[in-house]
Amino acid sequence: MRAFVAIFPPPEVRESLLQAARNLSAQGNIRWSRPGNVHLTLKFLGEVPEEDLDGVRDVLARVCARHEPFGAETSGFGAFPSARKARVVWASIGEGHDRLRSLAEDLERSLEDIGFAREGRAYTPHVTLGRVRGHPARLELPESSAQGLKFPVREVELVRSVLGESGAAYSTLAAYPLSESGDQGS
């Protein structure tokens, strides 16, 4: 099954982010995410055989026990690879950025120990909001549009992704609370 590890902001934050993103000045065909699909990916796992899921679950439980809950806040919009040739539209994270990077690095290291390849680039916390169909889009990205949306990070989810004609459908396989007595990845 196709799977990833993610954090889902509360519904009101997802809705607000999407609304602000839809108001961006854009030239191109952007398919906006459904509110229920808006998340921060910590680690994309790809195709995971059923027999490997127990190992992933064990790693997630151990990693989450080492990290305490924290607050995060959006800080602006961005696009991959650039605003002039956008393929993906996202919201960046300001407050909580370092804690998310620490959590993602701990996951990366721990999942590598059970056979998952390390990501080739540094982790950049972001919330994906839309993907461009066809030719890249051209966006104007005002800095203030996605600022100030605060949300708590209290758990990490193992998510199944099923691709379909209308996009991906996600279902949570398990949720792992961050520990009130975690050592923040040390």
> Could you list the active site residues?
39, 126
Contact 60, 177 (CB under 8 A): no
Assess whether the previous peptide bond of 136 is cis (omega < 30° from 0).
no
Taking every pair of C-alpha atoms in the chain, what is the biggest distance, in angstroms? 48
Q: What's the rounded Cα separation, in Å, for the pair 17 and 38?
A: 9
Residue 44: count other Cβ atoms within 10 Å of its Cβ.
Answer: 13
Contacts of 31 (CB under 8 A, 6+ apart): 130, 131, 132, 133, 167
Contact 3, 152 (CB under 8 A): no
Contact 45, 116 (CB under 8 A): yes
Q: Where are the alpha helices (DSSP H) in 44-96?
A: 53-65
